[in-house]
């Protein structure tokens, strides 16, 4: 990998969902376009047991690009359109499969907390989510893996629980909490990844200035790039792809007064620290 500012460097999409049905028809083209845009690896996350096989198949098919992550998301039912809070049964089905593939995984994820009122309606729902997250953190510790974490409408509770559980290797993806709570995570050594939707401040005034403040507050040593494809793209209604990682990279580079190559190199170095198994794909 080249030094900052010395020509072309690679980027890593640290959180995406290439197993989503939106990519069923053109996944080869999507990955080829990503590589041409400088994205050399992607951590592809599952959110439910029903996605596990597909993510592993993508890793089999694209071993030079896909680093799989398996985990149980706090919100289930995305594939059926009937979203609901996770249950312990969802996790019970996942544990043996995660164990089977643990040596191939880049992280346990996507896991976390999601306290949106339309999904998480009771104190019991929140407690179940905490228990499911706790058990998956224990799995990550057992297999010596980092965690790839969701924290929608639950930034502070998620970081608080991760700290209580002694987590040291974590990515908080698309963090929407107060930047001061993010700094608690920084003090624990956590990383934060920024999606291309960061550029949509004019369209979503109530949300994105908070994320822009987050970028300003976070040390570059704790920043990573992500797309969350197919969601969180630079255009609200458009399908997001890993090629759009350059949008995040360019925005953060400007905010941090770095060149795009410098920021790409630094975030790739950060990614390889947090996700050591990227070394199977990205050769130094």
pLDDT, tens only, 239-249: 999 999 999 99
Tokens matching residue 110: 């996507």
Report phi then psi at 209, rounded to 5: -55, -35
Stretch (H or E) spanning 149: strand 147-150
Predicted confidence band at 210 (pLDDT cuts at 50, 70, 90)? low
Domains and CATH numbers, the chain: 11-280 (3.20.20.140)
Predicted confidence band at 284 (pLDDT cuts at 50, 70, 90)? low
Q: Are strands 84-85 and 75-76 parallel, antiparallel or unpaired?
A: antiparallel
The length of the chain in residues reads: 284
**Cβ atoms of 50 and 263 closer than 8 Å:** no
What SS3 class is residue 206? Answer: coil
Contacts of 100 (CB under 8 A, 6+ apart): none
Asked if the model's pLDDT at residue 6 lies above 70, the reply is no
* pLDDT digits 0-9 by tens, 69-116: 999 999 998 666 689 999 999 999 999 999 999 999 999 999 999 999
Cα–Cα distance, 22 to 37 (Å, whole number): 20
* pLDDT digits 0-9 by tens, 217-240: 999 999 999 999 999 999 988 999
pLDDT at position 175? 96
Predicted confidence band at 56 (pLDDT cuts at 50, 70, 90)? very high
Asked if the model's pLDDT at residue 9 lies above 80, the reply is no
Cα–Cα distance, 226 to 186 (Å, whole number): 18
**Cβ atoms of 89 and 49 closer than 8 Å:** no
Global pTM exceeds 0.85: yes
DSSP-derived letter for residue 7 is: S
Asked if the model's pLDDT at residue 268 lies above 50, the reply is yes
208 vs 57, which has greater pLDDT? 57
CA distances from 169 to 73, 272, 283 (A): 18, 12, 22
Tokens matching residue 34: 């990503």
pLDDT at position 283? 80
Contacts of 24 (CB under 8 A, 6+ apart): none
What SS3 class is residue 42? Answer: strand
The mean pLDDT value for 271-280 works out to 98
Stretch (H or E) spanning 271: helix 260-274
CA distances from 277 to 54, 112, 120, 145, 182 (A): 20, 22, 34, 9, 25
**Cβ atoms of 65 and 29 closer than 8 Å:** no
pLDDT at position 234? 94
**Cβ atoms of 189 and 233 closer than 8 Å:** no
Predicted confidence band at 205 (pLDDT cuts at 50, 70, 90)? very low
The mean pLDDT value for 257-282 works out to 97
The mean pLDDT value for 249-259 works out to 96
């Amino acid at each position: 990998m080249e030094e900052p500012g010395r020509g072309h460097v690679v980027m890593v999409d640290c959180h995406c969902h290439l197993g989503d049905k939106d990519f069923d028809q053109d996944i080869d083209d999507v990955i080829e376009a990503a590589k041409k845009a400088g994205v050399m690896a992607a951590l592809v996350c599952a959110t439910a047991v029903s996605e596990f096989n597909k993510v592993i198949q993508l890793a089999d098919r694209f071993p030079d690009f896909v680093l799989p992550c398996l985990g149980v998301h706090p919100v289930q039912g995305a594939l059926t359109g009937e979203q609901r809070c996770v249950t312990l049964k969802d996790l019970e089905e996942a544990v043996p499969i995660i164990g089977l593939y643990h040596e191939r995984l880049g992280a346990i994820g996507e896991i976390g907390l999601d306290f949106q009122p339309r999904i998480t309606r009771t104190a019991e729902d929140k407690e179940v989510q905490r228990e499911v997250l706790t058990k998956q953190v224990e799995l990550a510790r057992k297999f010596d893996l980092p965690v790839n974490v969701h924290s929608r409408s639950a930034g502070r509770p998620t970081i608080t629980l991760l700290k209580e559980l002694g987590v040291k290797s974590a990515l908080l993806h698309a963090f929407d909490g107060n930047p001061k709570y993010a700094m608690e995570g920084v003090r624990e050594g956590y990383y934060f990844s920024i999606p291309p939707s960061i550029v949509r401040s004019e369209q979503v005034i109530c949300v994105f200035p908070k994320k822009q403040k987050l970028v300003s507050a976070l040390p570059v040593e704790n920043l990573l790039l992500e797309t969350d494809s197919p969601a969180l793209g630079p255009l609200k209604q458009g399908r997001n792809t890993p090629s759009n990682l350059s949008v995040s990279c360019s925005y953060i580079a400007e905010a941090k007064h770095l060149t795009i190559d410098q920021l790409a190199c630094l975030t790739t170095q950060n990614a390889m620290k947090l996700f050591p198994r990227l070394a199977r794909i990205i050769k130094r």
